[in-house]
Structure 1
Amino acid sequence: MFHKYLSSALLLGLLLTAVGCKDPNHARTKTQTLPSAEVRVITVAGQASQRQIEVAGAVEAVQKATIAAKISGVIEELPVALGAVVKKGALLVKISAGEITARLSQAETQLAQAQRNFEREKRLLEKDASTRETVKSLEDAYRVAEAGASEARAMRNYAMITAPFAGIITQKMTNTGDLATPGTPLLVLENTEQLQVVVAAPEGMALKIKQGDTLPVSIPAAEFSQTGTVTEISPSADSASRTALVKLRIEGDASLRPGQYARVALPGGAAADTFLVPETAVFRFGQMERLFVVQENTAHLRLVRSGEHRNGQVEILAGVNGGEQVVAQGGERLVDGQPVRIVQ
């Protein structure tokens, strides 16, 4: 038993000795044996960058009309379907208007009678067989009848609802046989040839926007990206959301539809110093972003945090200092601590 414990003690001692005798400079020695790599570098410098914040919005038609009835009646005809393309003046809805037609007939009859009376009395006045007062009274009656007939014609026209402009029927809230009442929406007509993006901008940012400004607009569903021109800015902010409506005109595109989700980049706070490096200098490792900085001809790994990507460059928000040399090409094969040789 004693020999068994002695053997175990000797074995443990040998293991501890082996660990304790391990060279602490082993990792450094291994790194120093790495071959020197050729790299291209850039010297980063702070650049003024205006911060931008994206807000959500929606695509809308500049021309949009909610078609509603002005009179009550049963819908006799509804010749348009959802998504139908209509021309200006095309018939959209016909409402039954029997009472209005009868009223128009009555008004036109009264107008014809008042006109005959007025003309007859004028001829009698020319023969001194009437008085000016009588003629004036009949003339007034004629004018009243004329106004009544005009009103009846207008009411009859209300029974025939036509398109105020060319566009597409984007909503249909009624069908043939339904009862139309004044003010009740029947259809929605939109002109998709002229589109805009409407966003609710935080009140602080809205103050920095003026009519005529151009802002970046993106519509992911349509793979659409361009600048929009600010056409309208609400002069007041919503007291609940503390936002103000901003409208931007965009150029038409076949893939754009009213109601699509849009993003608009608004100017944010004051300009801040940031660093721009080529996109080839930054590498992703899982959720981390990293690059290499050269100091004394040695590559040192840095974890960084990036911002916007634009024109082949990436904004570095943290992890790099001004004046440092960043590996722009050749960093994908580097190891932390590897010697490098800078080439032009």
Structure 2
Amino acid sequence: MPYKSLLAILCFVVLAGCSDPQAAGKFAMPPMPVEVAQAKVQKVTDRFDGVGTIEATDAITVVSEINAAVVSLPFQEGGYVKKYDLIAQLDDGQLAAEVARDEAVVAQNRANFERMKVLVEQKASATKDLDDATASLKIAEANLALSKAKFEKTRIRAPFSGLIGARKISVGTFLRTGDAITELANIDEIRVIFSMPERFLLQLKQGTEVTVSSAVNPELEVKGRVIVIEPIVDESTRNARVVARVANPGQKFRPGMSANISVVLSERANAITIPNEAIFASGNQSFVFVVKSDSTVARTALTLGIRLSDVVEVLQGLEVGANVVEAGHQKLFEGAKVMPISTEKK
């Protein structure tokens, strides 16, 4: 029978009793109709949900390290390049000449060193002359290594595999050190950056599984692992920065996109739960009214655990199967007589 119908009948009975003068002295408060629910065992999951930002695992702006003109840009804009693929060829004429010059100087100094070595062995020259020849050879070799290093910088190669962006310059452009050529990003895997409140940090650790889904396409969902938990909590927000590494099949996630984050912090398979509506508070303590076998209620203090959208975990204070008042407890008191109405679905 609906709750409102029962309440109407009881009110009628009370009024009828009060209208009888002979019954006035024998009046007793009728049982209060209340909805009850049973404490059940179920699996509960303590979960953190938030929003993060996607970053590339590796991302750079490709720049020139020397002053030189662009000879060629042999890459397809927006395409995929492999590690060591040529991105830009710069004019190497002057640097090639410097390499040839320094190679000749090294050859000359090496020949002089060998000659001095023989003369010193024959005691036809002073040891100091050999020391000078040795130093000159080392200086020449260092200059050659430097000119070769500069020459190599005319060939700008991809330091890792990834997607390459649009050209920022054209063939013939004279580049100066630090001028940008294009962007390169590795998004085979992605990093997801998000903030987590301090109250969750003790339950979080490196390696914890993270589920990442697209804010624009909920069907796109991938899993990864926490790799970094920043050691310093932001004192203004009381949040810590967390980084997760996530696979990116099909490269559907792109750097800069937002993502929904879900982290399971703990699970208990055999938790005792009751409906959220059954809980009421007095000060800092949570209580429920437990319906006893004689249909009276007992005000019972509880220790609560994980709170879900519809139920709350009870850590202490209730046994499995206990009947608690879910609705109608506002006017109850210790020992009050009730008429339980089960809310369990048949």
TM-score (norm 2): 0.61
Q: 1:210 to 1:258 in 2, by over 3 A?
A: same
Q: 1:241 to 1:316 in 2, by over 3 A?
A: closer
1:75 aligns to 2:70 (yes or no) = yes
1:161 aligns to 2:166 (yes or no) = no
Q: CA–CA distance in 2 between the matches of 1:173 and 1:241?
A: 39
CA contact (8 A) 1:230 1:247 kept: yes
CA contact (8 A) 2:78 2:165 kept: yes
Return the match for 1:94 from 89, 94, 116.
89
Report how many aligned residue pairs link the two structures: 254
Letter in 1 for 2:99: L
Q: CA–CA distance in 1 between the matches of 2:64 and 2:130?
A: 41
1:244 aligns to 2:240 (yes or no) = yes
Q: What is aligned with 2:50?
A: 55
Q: CA deviation at 1:151?
A: 0.8
Q: CA–CA distance in 1 between the matches of 2:111 and 2:260?
A: 68
Q: What is aligned with 1:261?
A: 258
1:177-233 Cα shifts (integer Å, max 9, x gaps):
333333343322222222232223345544542211113322244522244210112
Q: CA–CA distance in 2 between the matches of 1:190 and 1:156?
A: 26
Q: How many percent of aligned residue pairs carry the same amino acid?
A: 26
Q: CA–CA distance in 2 between the matches of 1:113 and 1:104?
A: 14
Question: Matched residue of 1:173: which SS?
Answer: coil
CA contact (8 A) 1:274 1:316 kept: no
Letter in 1 for 2:72: E
Q: CA–CA distance in 2 between the matches of 1:212 and 1:62?
A: 17
Q: CA deviation at 1:137?
A: 0.9
Structure 1: 5+ residue runs without aligned partners?
Answer: 1-24, 30-41, 278-313, 329-341
Q: CA deviation at 1:168?
A: 1.4
Q: CA–CA distance in 1 between the matches of 2:341 and 2:159?
A: 65
Letter in 2 for 1:151: L
Q: CA deviation at 1:126?
A: 3.5
Summarize the alignment of residues 169-208 of structure 1 with structure 2, pairs less than 5 Å apart.
169-170=164-165, 172-206=167-201, 208=203
Structure 2: 5+ residue runs without aligned partners?
Answer: 10-35, 277-307, 313-324, 328-339
Q: What is aligned with 1:225?
A: 221
TM-score (norm 1): 0.61
Larger CA deviation: 89-98 vs 149-158: 89-98
Larger CA deviation: 116-125 vs 242-251: 242-251
Q: What is aligned with 2:326?
A: 321
Q: CA–CA distance in 2 between the matches of 1:45 and 1:175?
A: 72
Q: CA deviation at 1:142?
A: 0.4
Q: CA deviation at 1:234?
A: 1.9
Q: CA–CA distance in 2 between the matches of 1:263 and 1:89?
A: 35
Q: What do you get for the CA RMSD once the two structures are aligned?
A: 3.8
Question: Matched residue of 2:326: which SS?
Answer: coil
Q: CA–CA distance in 1 between the matches of 2:228 and 2:54?
A: 15
1:7-46 Cα shifts (integer Å, max 9, x gaps):
xxxxxxxxxxxxxxxxxx9xx99xxxxxxxxxxxx95536
Larger CA deviation: 191-200 vs 44-53: 44-53
CA contact (8 A) 1:228 1:249 kept: yes
Q: What is aligned with 1:21?
A: none
Q: CA deviation at 1:92?
A: 0.9
